Chain A
Amino acid sequence: MKISMKNTALLCGAGVLAIALLNSSVVSAQNDPIASRKAVMKSVGGAMRDPGQMMRGQAPFELAKVKASLETFVEASGKMSALYPKGSETGGETTASPKIWEAKADFDARLVKFGADAKEALASITDEASFKANFPKVGQNCGSCHETYRIEKK
């Protein structure tokens, strides 16, 4: 299913490219906010893996990896708001809820909170005990925002 989704994404991407070339315009990441925000979300999910496995005891605690993941969250939270411009509500198999555009200020505030929680964790996590105590608060931002602003895949 993942492969077919990728293929579909590639096809959509190719279609966008073809139309853009016909219009003699330049295609950049800014012109495809859906693909860009998916890539940023993937980076967040990818960065959740190491600390997630450490939380579950499936991997040994490594402070450097935790910090790298938290840096990714801070960076992603800063980029995200601009990737939901008006006009990008549908298309590209987006699972963004229309509610994002109905309550953009709340959506943006949640992104700010996610970034702030990640920054706070960067400061407070110094060893395994402080990691186990402080990391879950960062991860809870995913679910609480997705509850309102993410819809089921078709």
Chain B
Amino acid sequence: MPTPFGTFRVPNLSSDKQDGIGAWTDQAFITAMREGVSPDGRHYYPAFPFTSYALMNDQDLVDLLAFLKTLPALPGRIADHDLNFPFSFRRGLGLWKWLNLASGAYQPQTSQSEEWNRGAYLVNGPGHCAECHSPRDVMGGIRKSLRMSGGPDPEGGAGYIPNLTSHETGLAKWTADDIAEFLKTGFTPDFDSAGGSMAAVIKNMAHLGDADRMAIAIYLKSLQPLASNKPAKKAP
């Protein structure tokens, strides 16, 4: 995965006991997902979005590991990341986490509906929408005041990832139904069809039940409208 910080290479998640995660305990998996720490005690880089997965509850993580362990065991390790200085120093991630990682699984807000809380959990935890749909600071941390307002493509493309708040530069004109349909079929209210990484995301979102997609939509519609930080187009 090419990024402004260098190239991240994605490790083996199959159930291979040597090269994959077949031998991992539930606790090791929970620590990896929520704290970004490997079973041998190294920090993971936040290209693996543990800042979002930190919100996931124990049961979902245990279920997820159980599912991953049903995948075929495929041997093979990939090369390490190839990062630019100073990001190549893994120990610096301790400081990064102190700045950017909030710990503790998602706590429902009692003032909000069950549906809204379900949406908030899916969007901010397992869905990790903000990881692409937010601008980042020079150290790669999400700029909290502009969270979900879109951002430059974190995978190194030239494009700008859309604003998901209900601002006119975002989803103001989309109804909750529009969002839920989009997550199911990939078609926008104008019947344009999503491309790139979002098309891959929709393939996964299409596996959710209608209620979960609607919960996501209800939550997104409740976000405070924020103007997109997208740079103005240069005259040709």
Contact = CB atoms under 8 A, between A and B. Distances in A.
Interface of A: 1, 4, 8, 11-12, 15, 45-46, 48-49, 52, 55-56, 95, 97, 136, 139, 142-144, 146-147, 149-154
28 contacts: A1-B169, A11-B236, A15-B236, A48-B187, A52-B191, A55-B185, A56-B177, A95-B195, A139-B185, A139-B187, A142-B186, A142-B187, A143-B199, A143-B202, A146-B193, A146-B194, A147-B195, A149-B195, A150-B195, A150-B199, A151-B157, A152-B157, A152-B160, A152-B161, A152-B196, A153-B160, A154-B159, A154-B160
Given A8-B236, A11-B236, A45 B199 contact: no
Given A139-B187, A152-B157, A56 B181 contact: yes
B192 interface: yes
Contacts of B161: 152
A48 B190 CA distance: 9
Contacts of B159: 95, 151-154
Interface string B160-198: 110000000100000001000100011100111111100
A147 B200 contact: yes
A154 B158 CA distance: 6
Given A95-B195, A142-B193, A152-B195, A4 B185 contact: no
A29 to B, nearest CB: 20
Given A52-B187, A139-B187, A143-B186, A150 B236 contact: no
